[in-house]
Structure 1
């Protein structure tokens, strides 16, 4: 579009929106554009499109003063259309935002001058779509524009009356930060319109009309109808053919709810629809419809039900679109819990009330308001791949929705949070579409994360039952935060909960710490898949028997958590399935006993290490076993059996990777119970020189123990064969005896010529089973 037209549109956007809405609000029931009561409000009747009659339009085209746009407008128009805005639909947000600014201005002025509002005290915004005229009309009852304002504001690139207003207010130091400055927002009107008409009435001037077709000039003329607005601005967009979708009431309703639902002022949409209703048939009408057939009198008496007919009814009325109020602008002490729940359901499109919320206002370095919620249930894609969670936090500027595309703003471990941030200080580019990289955003992010943690701590301290519900759903997120974010690790650790051998219920590390035995040097835990597996594990036998408490790490992520959470209050977290466990009450007497057992069982230890050298690095006397004969442990810096299964189950993992292969092939520690009769008998066999009879038994014992210890079988086929041999020995079946089975060989390979024999040459069968003859047309090539 041309430069002058573009500048014209820019000016129109600012002035027209303000004046249009002001005009409609000012119009009372006695004005021609008339009013109909709606509650306590007076709304104008909706016109069939533009408020200008064809005669008025003709006067505007011929008369008035013509002005040239400032230079470079054409280049600015191209920039706006091609680069500034992502989508055309943004125009409605921009125009409504400008209208809201105009309403804020007149309200602010009325605080200083009580006569500023006059008789037009109804501050609102109205939208009318005319399908026949292909126009979209927006009206506000704001401050409006004088003739000079129309020429200055709508004929200059990025000239904003709001900017001047703010500058004046700042010098007066009256704090007008609620007044917005939206740059070239008005120019967005030309994304969807090829002609824009602005009608505006300011208290200090007559009512004027400004119009441009985005060419090189624009016209301004005194409105021949006089003062029809009362005060405010009306913008009429003559839509392009490719933008007619914005005449749809449904589309307009969606856009207002998406971008401008929380504007301070009511937004009304003129809605027309046809409804059918059942009405009773009048007696006279029923009598005319009776046929000439004589009916039985008794039948007439029985037919006592009234007869109805369908009648179509045309309904046209103002519909309030933004009925959801921005409760975050109110003080938390004035808001009931039910109000928060209702707001969350509407805001997050959820059917259930949230588990918790935190409504706060940040002051100081950056001022903003925010409400964050914890949904009752996680989404199906919780902590999974994808970027849907990046849209959970919405950004507003002065209650106008800006964006929910904030990748990197919330960390992944807080991806379940939903909420909003509203600030007057968030730095935006001219289109408000792209956030600038600014320190303010980092400050806001830091405070939101801190408030989220405070919300969880408050829930944990005030409502244990509800917190356990939260942790059951979102505990993995807390653990992920400890693993990935060192800056919040210390704050998140108290929020952890684990099942415990103490009573089987969830417990915190602090509660475990308070129950630790005298001199206990470590916090004991075990990883696995379920409680039954833990209770039958050989690793916990002696610990539980002696009265020590063991934490049960049930989730796969706990394996990674144990690497990130090394200690708690200087007490090391010790995996009981790894070497290095200590009780803290070991003395010289027990040490001497162990030394004696080590020497006594040395022949068996040497033999076991020799036979199991492929998988075992060390064989030692166990300090943990009571009823089990042996256990397989990882080395102190190795991986547990659960972690091995995780590494092997990685669908996209590379088992040839150096680190993965190292962990999977790392040799184990084989502990034996010197008090178990099986181990005692094995020692006797080795000392008697009958160790060869033990080979299969040793292998089966090791593999079965490894399975009980949480490790996977090294070679399932070999393990099955060894088990079979042990069973054969138990039943007295010869190890060399095999099953007597006759195996019939498969037919010989069919000769190629025989394969082709019997086939019909050049015959194909269609999908319907029809035979189709191929016709040789003499062409061998395609």
Structure 2
């Protein structure tokens, strides 16, 4: 194996049944160099196959699944044929049985790594492999899900397992909440988590590009479904009094909601609704259950850029979003007043679009036209400072050297004209 250090974990076993073989497997203390280079296309030489103690090969493509390409070890079986070509042996049905047992034993070995060592060492080195396993290995998905670790709002630095999250869930909570972002700071400062955190719900933070794919591959965990808090579907239990209050607010804000949907933001949103998830932010842009979150859109655009693909017509990318507004925010309350007074007010329309574009950015999405956004911000600043919208920028004074050069050029042109006249 060319390893000189003690392994992080190892297992030595004899398997019996349809095929009998002996094996020793181990996890190295650090990830091999280039672990994800040409992932899936490069053959692993970490598992060495022996038949009756005679070395056969370490060049089998499917001896271990791709996501376990870091596991090293030896397999020795008396049941495999010795006098056949390597290509024929690779297609032997007993190899599939061996592979299945190797995967199960490997996952058992990883599961037995002490919690502190697992979080501090194994997850740092091989966490991405586990996430890829959840995506790729349907038959072992439940086992792999128990090995996942994520950051969460429960602790500033410690990782949490899904089992631990479920144990801490509030009474009557039926979903596992998660928020995806480029960093923990971005995720925990998102408007989408405001009310959840205020109410004491724990939120899992997904900060790696593969994380959201991983969770999407899990329909549920321990009977609890996952809820992306940047998408529709976040609802809270409410008392009869709270329900009446919400319905009254919806009636009061109906003119503003209809105006946004049918006029100010007509081509930009699917609908406008009062938000249950916002406490401090004025608004947010929420994806449908089938649309992309801001984080996923950023990942997909980056991948499309690398491959030269155009994703603008993609079904998920083209899904219109819901514009959620906070009825208790002073900006929203003042907009309601202005719309009731005059819904054709250009300033209010500008404000609505600026709010929408700001919500787009704060919700993790990218603006298609940043120049228009900048122009609108400038107009709003001019209005707030009582500066005429048509006021021009002062012309720059000419530099002395530039003025002299222009004068000299003028003299040369005059001399040339006089010379031409004399001719």
TM-score w.r.t. the length of structure 1 is 0.48
Change (3 A) 1:466 1:534: same
Alignment check: 8 A CA contact 1:673 1:679 kept: yes
Give 1:467 shift: 4.1
**Partner SS, residue 544 of structure 1:** helix
* Alignment partner of 1:700 is 2:361: no
Which residue, out of 714, 734, 738, partners 2:388? Answer: 734
Which residue of 619, 622, 630 corresponds with 2:272?
Answer: 619
- 1:569-588 residue CA offsets vs partner (Å, 9 max, x unmatched): 222111111111122x2233
Query: In 2, Cα distance between the equivalents of 1:352 and 1:728?
Result: 67
> What is the CA-CA distance between 1:440 and the residue it aligns to?
1.2
**Contact 2:119-2:159 within 8 A present in 1 as well:** no
State the partner residue of 1:496: 148
Matches within 5 A, 1:151-550: 347=1, 349-385=2-38, 387-430=41-84, 435-459=89-113, 462-504=114-156, 505-550=158-203
Matches of 1:489 and 1:432 in 2, distance apart? 31
Cα shift at 1:389: 4.9
Cα distance 1:657–1:689, how it changes in 2: closer, same or farther (>3 A)? closer
Contact map agreement 1:383 1:415 (CA 8 A) in 2: no
Is 1:666 the counterpart of 2:348? The answer is no
Aligned residues: 392
Q: Note the residue ranges of structure 2 that are not aligned, 5 or more in a row.
A: 403-423
Normalization by structure 2: what TM-score? Answer: 0.87
Q: CA, structure 1 residues 502+426, in 2 after alignment: closer, same or farther (shift >3 Å)?
A: same
Cα pair 2:285 2:322 within 8 Å, conserved: yes
Question: Distance between the aligned counterparts of 1:391 and 1:546, measured in 2?
Answer: 51
Q: Which runs of 5+ in 1 are unaligned?
A: 1-346, 745-782
Change (3 A) 1:562 1:653: farther
The 2-side partners of 1:490 and 1:433 are apart by 33
Q: CA deviation at 1:528?
A: 0.8
The equivalences for 1:703-782 within 5 A come to 703-740=357-394
Cα deviation for residue 628 of structure 1 reads: 1.0
Change (3 A) 1:654 1:425: same
Q: Tell me what 2:414 maps to.
A: none
Mark the CA change 1:521 to 1:364 in structure 2 (over 3 Å): closer, same or farther.
closer
In 2, the alpha carbon distance for the partners of 1:564 and 1:355 equals: 28
Quick check: 1:655 aligned with 2:310? yes
Counterpart for residue 5 of structure 1:
none
Counterparts in 2 of 1:88-127, with a 5 A limit? Answer: none
Aligned-partner SS, 1:496: coil
Measured on the aligned residues, the alpha-carbon RMSD in Å equals 2.2
Give secondary structure in 1 for the equivalent of 2:273: strand
The answer on whether the counterparts of 2:14 and 2:23 sit within 8 Å (CA) in structure 1 is: yes
CA contact 1:604–1:682 (8 Å) conserved in 2: yes
Q: 1:694 and 1:739, CA in 2 relative to 1: closer, same or farther beyond 3 A?
A: same
